[in-house]
């Protein structure tokens, strides 16, 4: 067990180091951030002056060494656009992202559960196909369009819910639904096939033979066991939600990591691009690691070696 | 077999192939004076533009028909590219294992950990948005999923007797990989391909929203919705019809993929 | 003692009875699609963040909402220049205090200007000031003398609210004790509102001081600036009453007006100007007939009426900013206005030897306050196609275009910018950047005659002569079609129903929130 954990940890560290090179290079390939920081009338001397002050005139390898050296100690440098320590920006945004992802996850589970169970129990019927189509709908529309239609109708016309920004619980509803609906299909499918597998399993057949009611079979025996893969994969979906929220955060003016990343990329804010990509990648790596570990603990049939 | 989804896909493929004949107007022809004209059934609609016009007065129906060509091509080409690279990496890593194998799989895992849209956005901003760059940017991240799936399959296959036999009878590595391993991974690949065509179309739309999708004036459904989003309240048809097209096609591909998975490879339930 | 208290009380009740201002109350919320770089330190700001910084800080020279320098609205209550135009003496307002209680003196003014041109600065006009300034003297706490190397007229406007942030007065003692970085996080100024909090990507919140010399007793207790990038979201927030002021696209103005929300305009806010990337000597656009043809092929009225929702007017002169016209007394002759004449455009192309047209690249991008950017570029391509030119759209974002422009890697290709309106000095700075060949990679006009005119203006201090030279420069730019002046843009802002009176003013990148929060 310990060997497995250590091996995975060192692999993760190498993965992240690999990233740091890729993202360092990519970020710099996007162009010159000063074009956006300095005004239209700035002279070339102004550009040279700012480049020198920000250390952007140093050779690339030197910049990279500084970046990695500092990142290892949790210091991601200073944002070129806002000139604040990147760590501060992350501290402001990360909790918002996690909160929105958690809310979306809850929404998504709330929809996926009844649909998944229904589809499995009524397998092959119109209800099954109906549930599948309903779940897949969320995955078949661009989130920005769903979000904007919701904003125009629910916030703009009906005025029931706030359109954007964060603050109260009500602010979570529209972005949470938009984001959550997108992953319903995956969760529902997972639950449905896990249920199907369990419903065919021996102990369920035994329970049926012993005269247990269908409701009890479904809820007590099947669902409980079908939950295992759902719970483990909920982690993966959570990571997906955190990292794919960029569009939803932009539409709903949600001050999270996705929006920070978008601003950083369009603003050529190298230190922030690097930090956001590394941190989101670290989240995914950590979640995957935790899921593997959890899976191994829950289901001993899966060897740790794989 | 899901008849309706297959028919939907067939219909759109037909539209894409015969776009030049079926489209009532030039999808690029602008007329600012006719901008944002409503669909034919609205009070001041006309048969000149059955589904209305966009913000530059271009015929929406024609753009959606030509858009089928662009968006379907983008979807298919991207997943094929990703599938090709992914399958190659998975086969090689699974067959050779050792140092090469573990290096390739490290790379795969690293790519899987990257946020798709974020990286595609960086790539698109770096290279400038174009059809080719969008395909490459999305493909550059999607291949890892194929690699993972194929790798897993290959590992399982390698334990099987027929591979050992093939080795004993002196088959070359190339022959084992292409003749014995690849065909056995095809069902999983096919399932993944069909499921991801829709995903690619959606990702392209999201990139368009962020200003890094297939660039204008090319009619791609994603960029048509993105351009029409400011008119959701005042001229709903501009984003609604391309949105409907995306919805139908992506839904159809997802349902077909679902069905394929149930038929071919039920183990893949978490994809 | 008791008597004094009684007297004070009496005075207080008396003023209340006569209707003195109520204490600040409530919240004013401004939602904007972008905050530029979201900084709180004026030295890092450039123009982009003036609209909220101007509430936190005072300028050395104030300006009226329509952009004229005013001794009533800035820290300087009077200024004069020596006959050789090299010594500028400013008299400062007394009894102005920073939010931490420190008095504002000439030492702060000197410190602020030096900091604005220091190495940390990324403001817009630091370069010019750096080259121009010789020394700054502080003979008395209420007196500052700025000595320049060359005779100049630009000192007051450059240190005023009319341009960027160089003229904002910062607290010397506070910055020296806490350091630049801490100041950039928790800024202190002397303006009517003090800094409360910032969440990047979300909002900046300010709170009123009890009383301020510039506006009296502020009307609102808090002013919050929120970043809401998506148009639909911003409009829904206005409809729900979450927002008092928001920028609105010209396309949605009518919808919001019909819903009963007042819309106010900044008239002639900017000139949408297009130019060709130099060097053009191997491209068709080196020929003035080709440049004229490209100008004549565009139906400016149609573009203004459709894409810009009627909130724009055709423009006629390259770099022709209307405030500069007012300053240098130029009336635009009718025959300078470009007609929409595709037939003549085709004829000109044929005459120049391009009967079959030629390929041309148009870079297409959105800019702040120009959500219609890409649409406009697509429309432009449509017009040019109709006269046989073969345009290719290259959708990029502005930094990517700028690189091609400055590196001159796409000669003959077209780019654009919505140039904010400015006075003759601002326009001169603009021309120096866009039309002055020597040592300017940003030059867009290859004309030695224009270079000579600009050089002459720089060394002249006689306004009549300057006006004459500026008028000549405009005439020549128009005669040679040195660019495509497209339209003047009016920028709309939608407000909540409770905002009854507000003049968004016309100062560059400043929304005159002063006018809203001032005591009435």
Quote the tokens at residue C126.
């630091």
Please tell me the least confidently modeled range out of A283-287, B131-135, B234-238, C316-320: A283-287
Question: Does A18 contact B at CB distance below 8 Å?
Answer: yes
> Is residue A164's pLDDT more than 60?
yes
> Is residue C491's pLDDT more than 80?
yes
Contacts of A181 in chain B (CB under 8 A): none
Of the spans A32-41, B79-88, C421-430, which averages the highest pLDDT? Answer: B79-88
State the pTM of this model.
0.88
Q: In what order do the strands lie in the sheet with C133-140?
A: C76-81, C87-92, C143-148, C133-140
Q: With an 8 Å Cβ cutoff, are B115 and A277 in contact? A: yes
Interface of B with C in 227-256 (CB under 8 A): 227, 229-234
Question: Does C307 contact A at CB distance below 8 Å?
Answer: no
- Find out whether C85 and C461 touch, Cβ atoms under 8 Å: yes
How long a stretch of residues is chain C?
Answer: 520
Q: Tell me what the mean pLDDT of segment B98-117 comes to.
A: 82
Summarised one tens digit per residue, pLDDT across range B178-232 is 888 888 888 888 888 888 898 899 988 988 888 888 887 888 998 899 988 888 8
> Is residue C197's pLDDT more than 70?
yes
**Between A4 and C423, residue with greater pLDDT:** C423
3-state class (DSSP) for residue C485: strand
Confidence of residue C350 (pLDDT cuts 50, 70, 90): very high
Q: Nearest CB to B56: which of C252, C364, C378?
A: C378
| Buried/exposed code over B134-161 (b: 16+ C-beta within 10 A; e: otherwise) | bbbbbbbbbbbbbbbbbbbbbbebbeee
Contacts of B229 in chain A (CB under 8 A): 144-145, 148
Residue A99 half-sphere exposure toward CB, CA atoms < 13 A: 16
With pLDDT > 70 as the criterion, what percentage of chain C qualifies? 95
Q: Nearest CB to B106: which of A11, A246, A306?
A: A11
Summarised one tens digit per residue, pLDDT across range B36-68 is 889 988 888 788 888 999 888 899 999 999 999
Confidence of residue C8 (pLDDT cuts 50, 70, 90): very low
Interface of A with B in 48-107 (CB under 8 A): none
What is the separation of C-alpha C101 from the centre of its chain, rounded to a whole number of angstroms? Answer: 31
Q: How far is CA A289 from CA A8, A190, A237, A284, C90, in A?
A: 7, 20, 14, 8, 66
Sequence-separated (6 or more) residues with CB below 8 Å from residue B267:
none
Interface of B with C in 38-57 (CB under 8 A): 55-56
Task: Return the HEC string of chain A.
Answer: CHHHHHHHHHHHHHHHHHHHHHHHHHHHHCCCCHHHHCCCCCCHHHHHHHHHHHCCCCCHHHHHHHHHHHHHCCCCCECCCCCCEHHHHHHHHHHHHHHHHHHHHHHHHHHHHHHHHHHHHCCCCHHHHHHHHHHHHHHCCCHHHHHHHHHHHHHHHCCCCCCCCCCCCHHHHHHHHHHHHHHHHHHHHHHHHHHHHHHCCHHHHHHHHCCCCHHHHHHHHHHHHHHHHHHHHHHHHHHHHHHCCHHHHHHCCCCCHHHHHHHHHHCCCHHHHHHHHHHHHHHHHHHHHHHHHHHHHHCCCCCCCC
The pLDDT mean for chain B works out to: 86
> Is residue C2's pLDDT more than 60?
no
> Is residue C19's pLDDT more than 50?
no
B237-264 helix and B60-96 helix, angle to the nearest 10 degrees: 30
Classified by CATH at the fold level, domain C267-490 comes out as Dipeptide-binding Protein; domain 3 (3.10.105)
Question: What region does A235 belong to: left with phi over 0, alpha with psi -120 to 50, or beta?
Answer: alpha
- Find out whether A112 and A189 touch, Cβ atoms under 8 Å: no
Chain B: give the shortest CA distance to residue A301, in Å. 15
Q: How far is CA C495 from CA A43, B165, C214, in A?
A: 37, 79, 24
Sequence-separated (6 or more) residues with CB below 8 Å from residue C414:
C274, C275, C276, C277, C360, C361, C362, C363, C380, C484
Interface probe, candidates C297, C382, C396, C410, chain B, greatest B C-beta count within 10 A: C382
Parse chain C into domains and list their residue ranges: 22-225+496-517, 267-490
Task: Return the HEC string of C320-364.
Answer: CCHHHHHHHCCCCCHHHCCCCCHHHHHHHHHHCCCCCCCEEEEEE
Parse chain A into domains and list their residue ranges: 86-305
Q: Nearest CB to A142: which of B206, B258, B266?
A: B206
Contacts of A29 in chain B (CB under 8 A): 126
Interface of C with A in 48-67 (CB under 8 A): 48
Of the candidates A127, A140, A237, the residue with the CA atom closest to the CA atom of residue A180: A237
> Is residue A297's pLDDT more than 80?
no
Interface of A with B in 185-214 (CB under 8 A): 185-186, 189-190, 193-194
Chain C: give the shortest CA distance to residue B235, in Å. 11
> Is residue B267's pLDDT more than 80?
no
Of the candidates B78, B192, B80, the residue with the CA atom closest to the CA atom of residue B138: B78
Q: State which residue of chain B sits closest to C391, comparing Cα positions.
A: B217
Summarised one tens digit per residue, pLDDT across range C65-119 is 988 899 999 999 999 999 999 999 999 999 999 999 999 999 999 999 999 998 8
> Is residue C17's pLDDT more than 70?
no
With pLDDT > 90 as the criterion, what percentage of chain A qualifies? 17
The pLDDT assigned to C390 comes to 94
Residue A203: CB atoms within 10 Å: 11
Please tell me the least confidently modeled range out of C100-114, C117-131, C147-161: C117-131
Question: Does A261 contact B at CB distance below 8 Å?
Answer: yes
Q: State which residue of chain A sits closest to C235, comparing Cα positions.
A: A156
The pLDDT assigned to A298 comes to 63
Q: With an 8 Å Cβ cutoff, are C382 and B56 in contact? A: yes
3-state class (DSSP) for residue C309: coil
Classified by CATH at the fold level, domain A86-305 comes out as MetI-like fold (1.10.3720)
Q: Tell me what the mean pLDDT of segment B236-240 comes to.
A: 92
> Is residue C12's pLDDT more than 60?
no
Q: Nearest CB to A30: which of B126, B254, B258?
A: B126
Confidence of residue C13 (pLDDT cuts 50, 70, 90): very low
Q: With an 8 Å Cβ cutoff, are B254 and A284 in contact? A: no
CATH class of the domain defined by C22-225+496-517: alpha beta
Round to whole Å and give the CA distance between A281 and A16: 7
C-side interface with B, Cβ within 8 Å?
A: 231-232, 235, 249, 251-252, 255, 299, 302-303, 306-307, 364, 366, 371, 374-375, 378-379, 381-382, 393-397, 400
| Buried/exposed code over A49-63 (b: 16+ C-beta within 10 A; e: otherwise) | bbeeebebeeeeeeb
With pLDDT > 90 as the criterion, what percentage of chain C qualifies? 66
Q: With an 8 Å Cβ cutoff, are C184 and A84 in contact? A: yes
Q: With an 8 Å Cβ cutoff, are A281 and B117 in contact? A: no
The pLDDT assigned to A1 comes to 67
- Find out whether A39 and C164 touch, Cβ atoms under 8 Å: yes
Cross-strand pairs, C484: C274
User: Could you report how far apart the first and last alpha carbons of chain B are, in Å?
Assistant: 20
> What domains are there in chain B, each with its CATH number?
3-12+56-266 (1.10.3720.10)
Question: Does A286 contact B at CB distance below 8 Å?
Answer: no
All partners of chain B with 3 or more CB pairs under 8 angstroms: A, C
Q: With an 8 Å Cβ cutoff, are C396 and B231 in contact? A: no
Summarised one tens digit per residue, pLDDT across range C262-288 is 999 998 899 999 999 999 889 999 999
Q: Nearest CB to B246: which of A23, A141, A148?
A: A141
**Between C496 and C13, residue with greater pLDDT:** C496
Pairing type for strands C193-199 and C203-208 reads: antiparallel
Interface probe, candidates C130, C197, C200, C423, chain A, greatest A C-beta count within 10 A: C200
The pLDDT assigned to C21 comes to 67
Reported ipTM:
0.86
With pLDDT > 70 as the criterion, what percentage of chain B qualifies? 97
Summarised one tens digit per residue, pLDDT across range A76-119 is 988 888 888 999 999 989 999 989 999 999 999 899 888 888 88
Q: State which residue of chain A sits closest to B207, comparing Cα positions.
A: A247
Q: With an 8 Å Cβ cutoff, are A19 and B125 in contact? A: no
Q: How far is CA B108 from CA A13, A19, B195, in A?
A: 15, 12, 20
**Between A107 and A129, residue with greater pLDDT:** A107
Chain C: give the shortest CA distance to residue B54, in Å. 11
């Amino acid at each position: 067990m310990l060997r497995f954990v250590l091996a995975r940890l060192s692999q993760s560290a190498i993965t992240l180091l690999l990233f740091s090179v890729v993202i360092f290079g990519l970020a710099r390939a996007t162009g010159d951030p000063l074009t956006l920081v300095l005004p239209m009338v700035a002279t070339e001397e102004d550009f040279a002056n700012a480049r020198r002050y920000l250390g952007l005139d140093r050779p690339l390898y030197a910049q990279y060494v500084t970046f990695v050296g500092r990142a290892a100690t949790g210091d991601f440098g200073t944002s070129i656009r806002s000139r604040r320590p990147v760590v501060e920006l992350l501290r402001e945004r990360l909790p918002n992202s996690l909160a929105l992802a958690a809310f979306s996850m809850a929404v998504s589970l709330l929809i996926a559960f009844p649909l998944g169970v229904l589809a499995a129990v009524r397998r092959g019927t119109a209800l099954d196909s109906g549930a599948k189509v309903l779940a897949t709908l969320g995955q078949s529309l661009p989130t920005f369009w769903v979000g904007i239609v919701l904003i125009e109708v629910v916030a703009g016309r009906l005025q029931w819910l706030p359109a954007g920004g964060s603050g109260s619980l009500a602010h979570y509803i529209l972005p949470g639904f938009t984001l959550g609906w997108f992953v319903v299909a995956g969760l529902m499918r997972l639950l449905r096939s896990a249920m199907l597998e369990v419903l065919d399993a021996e102990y369920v057949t035994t329970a049926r033979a012993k005269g247990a009611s269908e409701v009890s079979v479904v809820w007590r025996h099947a669902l409980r066991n079908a939950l295992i893969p759902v719970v483990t994969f909920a982690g993966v979906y959570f990571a997906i939600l955190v990292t794919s929220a960029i569009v939803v955060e932009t539409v709903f003016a949600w001050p999270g990591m996705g929006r920070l990343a978008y601003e950083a990329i369009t603003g050529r804010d190298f230190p922030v691009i690097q930090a956001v990509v590394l941190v989101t990648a670290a989240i995914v790596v950590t979640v995957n690691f935790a899921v593997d570990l959890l899976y191994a603990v829950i289901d001993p049939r899966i060897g740790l070696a794989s | 077999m899901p008849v309706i989804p297959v028919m939907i896909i067939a219909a759109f493929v037909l539209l894409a192939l015969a776009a030049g004949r079926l489209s009532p107007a030039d999808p690029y022809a602008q007329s600012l004076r006719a901008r944002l004209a409503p669909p034919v059934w609205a009070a001041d609609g006309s048969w000149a533009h059955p589904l209305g016009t966009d913000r530059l007065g271009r015929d929406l129906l024609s753009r959606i028909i030509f858009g089928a060509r662009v968006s379907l091509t983008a979807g298919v080409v991207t997943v094929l590219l990703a599938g090709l690279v992914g399958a190659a990496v998975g086969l090689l890593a699974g067959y050779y294992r050792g140092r090469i194998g573990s290096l390739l799989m490290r790379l795969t895992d690293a790519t899987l950990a990257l946020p798709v849209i974020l990286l595609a956005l960086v790539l698109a901003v770096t290279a400038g948005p174009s059809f080719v760059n969008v395909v490459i940017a999305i493909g550059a991240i999607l291949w890892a999923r194929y690699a993972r799936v194929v790798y897993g399959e290959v590992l399982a296959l390698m334990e099987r007797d027929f591979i050992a036999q093939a080795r004993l009878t002196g088959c070359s590595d190339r022959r084992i990989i292409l003749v014995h391993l690849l065909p056995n991974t095809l069902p999983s690949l096919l399932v993944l391909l069909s499921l991801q065509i829709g995903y690619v179309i959606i990702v392209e739309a999201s990139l368009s929203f962020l200003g890094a999708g297939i660039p204008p004036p090319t009619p791609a459904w994603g960029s048509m919705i993105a351009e029409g989003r400011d008119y959701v309240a005042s001229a709903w048809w501009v984003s609604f019809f391309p949105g409907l097209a995306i919805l139908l096609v992506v839904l159809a591909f997802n349902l077909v993929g679902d069905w394929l998975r149930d038929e071919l490879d039920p183990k893949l339930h978490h994809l | 003692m008791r008597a004094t208290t009684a007297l004070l009380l009496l005075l207080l009740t008396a003023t209340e009875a006569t209707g003195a201002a109520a204490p600040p109350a409530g919240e004013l919320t401004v939602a904007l699609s972008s905050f530029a770089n979201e900084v709180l330190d004026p030295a890092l700001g450039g123009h982009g963040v003036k609209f909220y910084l101007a509430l936190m800080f005072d300028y050395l020279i104030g300006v009226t909402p329509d952009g004229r320098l005013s001794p009533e609205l800035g820290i300087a209550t009077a200024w004069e220049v020596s006959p050789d135009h090299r010594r500028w003496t400013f008299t400062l307002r007394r009894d102005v205090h920073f939010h931490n209680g420190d008095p504002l003196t000439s030492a702060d003014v000197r410190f602020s200007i030096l900091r604005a041109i220091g190495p940390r600065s990324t403001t817009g006009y630091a370069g010019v000031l750096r080259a121009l300034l010789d020394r700054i003297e502080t003979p008395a706490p209420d007196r500052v003398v700025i000595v320049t190397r060359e005779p100049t007229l630009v000192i007051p406007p450059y240190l005023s609210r009319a341009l960027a942030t160089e003229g904002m007065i910062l607290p010397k003692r506070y910055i020296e004790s806490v350091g630049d970085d801490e100041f950039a996080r928790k800024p202190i100024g002397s303006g009517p509102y003090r800094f409360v909090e910032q969440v990047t990507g979300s909002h900046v919140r300010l709170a009123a001081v009890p009383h301020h010399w510039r506006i009296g007793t502020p009307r609102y207790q808090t002013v919050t600036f929120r970043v809401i990038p998506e148009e639909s979201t911003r409009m829904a927030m206005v409809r729900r009453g979450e927002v008092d002021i928001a920028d609105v696209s010209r396309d949605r103005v009518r919808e919001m007006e019909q819903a009963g929300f007042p819309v106010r305009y900044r008239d002639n806010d900017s000139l949408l100007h297009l130019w060709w990337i130099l060097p053009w000597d191997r491209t068709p656009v080196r020929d003035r007939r080709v440049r004229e043809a490209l100008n004549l092929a565009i139906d400016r009225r149609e573009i203004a009426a459709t894409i810009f929702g009627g909130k724009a007017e055709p423009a006629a002169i390259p770099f022709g900013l209307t405030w500069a016209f007012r300053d240098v007394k130029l009336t635009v002759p009718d025959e300078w206005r470009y007609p929409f004449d595709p037939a003549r455009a085709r004829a000109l192309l044929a005459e120049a030897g391009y009967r079959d047209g030629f390929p041309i690249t148009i870079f297409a991008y959105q800019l702040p306050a120009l959500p219609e950017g890409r649409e406009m570029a697509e429309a432009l391509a449509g017009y040019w196609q109709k006269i046989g030119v073969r345009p290719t759209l290259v959708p990029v974002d502005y930094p990517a275009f700028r690189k091609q422009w400055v590196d001159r890697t796409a000669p003959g290709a077209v780019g654009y910018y919505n140039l904010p309106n400015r006075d003759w000095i601002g326009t001169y700075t603009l021309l120096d950047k866009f039309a002055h060949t020597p040592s300017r990679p940003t030059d867009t006009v290859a004309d030695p005659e224009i270079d000579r005119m600009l050089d002459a203006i720089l060394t002249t201090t006689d306004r009549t002569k300057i006006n004459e030279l500026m008028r000549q420069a405009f005439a020549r730019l128009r005669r040679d079609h040195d660019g495509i002046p497209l339209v003047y843009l009016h920028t709309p802002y939608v407000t909540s129903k409770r905002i009854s009176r507000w003049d968004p003013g016309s100062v560059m990148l400043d929304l005159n929130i002063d006018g809203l929060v001032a005591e009435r």
